[in-house]
């Protein structure tokens, strides 16, 4: 791949770790970035998230989505993922730019950042990174095996050789993870391999400012909808929570919801005598400005958790930071 070798990489003054994948959407990079940022913040690092701001309508070369204390722009301007990260991460600035190097320079200058997390950064080769974490979905690791636009692969599978660490996500959902483990261990025996899962954390009812444990939904008649890369994953999550899932509607990824569509879903909920209308947290940040005050409408928050070698994973990152600092 001559194109890869020709790219001249720029360096930031600090530790740079990328969280990315090989396919388009659906592996859970945003929750994983949250997990890593919270850990690094707890370890005393000055953390910032750097993102491209996919889908955002911003025109600035660099845009501050959050200063770590307050969110400064909305999801339409920044894109879904940066806005969601900004909302969830207190003490962690979120900066976006099509040139992640410029975002990092601003973060370093303004916040003295020394731990940079590239959200969805595996293909952003213009910025030198100290560690590449690649997430692979256990249930659909490489789609149909074809590159865009005929498949979901952003680049050939062979480019996994650039990864430093593999994390198999949604590893609790699918027995195919064992076959994937075998493939990765055989093809890349020297690369560390971890397993993670997306764990339902709580149900949030915004109009009532009420929060419930996920188990609250067990046995309830539920209607769900989602406009994410793989809405079927959210559907499966609702079923696993023990809901009586009466109806589910899928929208395309990053869908811009209209007020009448939400009203129609709520009306259908009433006609079918359904208890609750549920969506994802990522969808909620795009529709909260048009959502009516309805006590039966809620969103599900999830968190990313390592299900194998938790301590070894973070020890590995610490060791790599020491190596970089000693150079």
Q: Does domain 2-197+305-326 have CATH number 3.40.50.720?
A: no
What average pLDDT does the structure give for the chain?
92
Q: Using one digit for the tens of pLDDT, what is the confidence trace for 18-31?
A: 999 998 877 789 99
Asked if the model's pLDDT at residue 281 lies above 60, the reply is yes
Asked if the model's pLDDT at residue 306 lies above 60, the reply is yes
Q: Residue 177's pLDDT is what?
A: 58
* DSSP for 270-317, written as a single string: HHTT-SEEEEEHHHHHHHTTT----TTEEEEEEEEEE-S-HHHHHHHH
Question: pLDDT band for position 1 (50/70/90)?
Answer: very low
Q: Residue 178's pLDDT is what?
A: 63
**At the topology level of CATH, where does 201-303 sit?**
Rossmann fold (3.40.50)
Q: What is the average pLDDT across 26-55? A: 94
Rounded to 5 degrees, φ, ψ at 130 are -95, -15
Residue 296 contacts residue 90 (beta carbons within 8 Å): no
Residue intervals in the chain for CATH 3.40.50.300: 2-197+305-326
Asked if the model's pLDDT at residue 5 lies above 60, the reply is no
Q: Residue 183's pLDDT is what?
A: 82
Asked if the model's pLDDT at residue 140 lies above 50, the reply is yes
Helix, strand, coil shares of the chain, percent, nearest 5, are: 35, 25, 40
Q: Residue 141's pLDDT is what?
A: 83
Residue 21 contacts residue 121 (beta carbons within 8 Å): no
Asked if the model's pLDDT at residue 188 lies above 80, the reply is yes
Q: Using one digit for the tens of pLDDT, what is the confidence trace for 270-279?
A: 999 999 999 9
Q: Residue 3's pLDDT is what?
A: 54
Residue 134 contacts residue 160 (beta carbons within 8 Å): yes
Find how far residue 194's CA is from the centre of its chain.
Answer: 17
Q: Residue 147's pLDDT is what?
A: 87
Residue 234 contacts residue 259 (beta carbons within 8 Å): no
Q: Residue 173's pLDDT is what?
A: 55
Q: What is the average pLDDT across 178-206? A: 90
Tokens of 172: 């609790």
Q: What is the average pLDDT across 131-144? A: 88
pTM recorded for the entire structure: 0.93
Q: What is the average pLDDT across 185-195? A: 91
For residues 167 and 4, which has the higher predicted lDDT (pLDDT)?
Answer: 167
Q: Using one digit for the tens of pLDDT, what is the confidence trace for 167-184?
A: 998 876 555 556 787 888
Q: Using one digit for the tens of pLDDT, what is the confidence trace for 99-113?
A: 999 999 999 999 999
Q: Residue 2's pLDDT is what?
A: 39
Least confident of 21-30, 241-250, 256-265: 21-30
Question: pLDDT band for position 63 (50/70/90)?
Answer: very high
Asked if the model's pLDDT at residue 323 lies above 50, the reply is yes
């Amino acid at each position: 791949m001559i194109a890869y070798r020709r790219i001249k990489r720029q360096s930031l003054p600090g530790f740079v770790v990328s969280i990315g994948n090989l396919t388009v959407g659906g592996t859970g990079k945003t929750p994983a970035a949250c997990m890593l940022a919270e850990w690094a913040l707890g370890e005393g690092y000055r953390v910032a998230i750097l993102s491209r701001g996919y889908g955002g309508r911003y025109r600035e070369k660099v845009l501050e989505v959050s200063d770590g204390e307050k969110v400064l722009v909305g999801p339409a301007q920044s894109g879904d993922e940066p806005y969601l990260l900004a909302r969830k991460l207190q003490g962690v600035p979120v900066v976006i730019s099509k040139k992640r190097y410029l975002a990092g320079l601003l973060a370093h200058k303004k916040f003295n950042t020394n731990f940079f997390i590239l959200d969805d950064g595996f293909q952003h080769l213009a910025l030198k990174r100290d560690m590449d974490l690649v997430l692979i979905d256990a249930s659909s690791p490489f789609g149909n095996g074809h590159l865009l636009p005929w498949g979901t692969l952003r680049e050939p599978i062979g480019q996994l050789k650039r990864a430093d660490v593999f994390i198999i996500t949604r590893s609790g959902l699918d027995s195919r993870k064992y076959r994937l483990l075998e493939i990765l261990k055989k093809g890349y025996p020297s690369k560390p391999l971890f397993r993670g899962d997306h764990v339902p954390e709580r149900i949030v009812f915004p109009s009532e400012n009420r929060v419930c444990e996920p188990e609250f939904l067990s046995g309830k008649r539920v209607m769900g909808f989602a406009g994410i890369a793989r809405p079927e994953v959210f559907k499966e999550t609702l079923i696993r929570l023990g809901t009586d899932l009466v109806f589910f509607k899928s929208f395309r990824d990053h869908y811009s919801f209209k007020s009448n569509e939400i009203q129609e879903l709520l009306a259908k909920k009433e006609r079918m005598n359904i208890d609750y209308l549920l969506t994802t947290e990522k969808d909620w940040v795009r529709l909260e400005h048009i959502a009516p005050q309805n006590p039966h409408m809620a969103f599900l928050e999830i968190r990313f958790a390592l299900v194998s070698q938790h301590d070894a994973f973070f020890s590995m990152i610490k060791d790599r930071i020491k190596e970089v600092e000693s150079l």
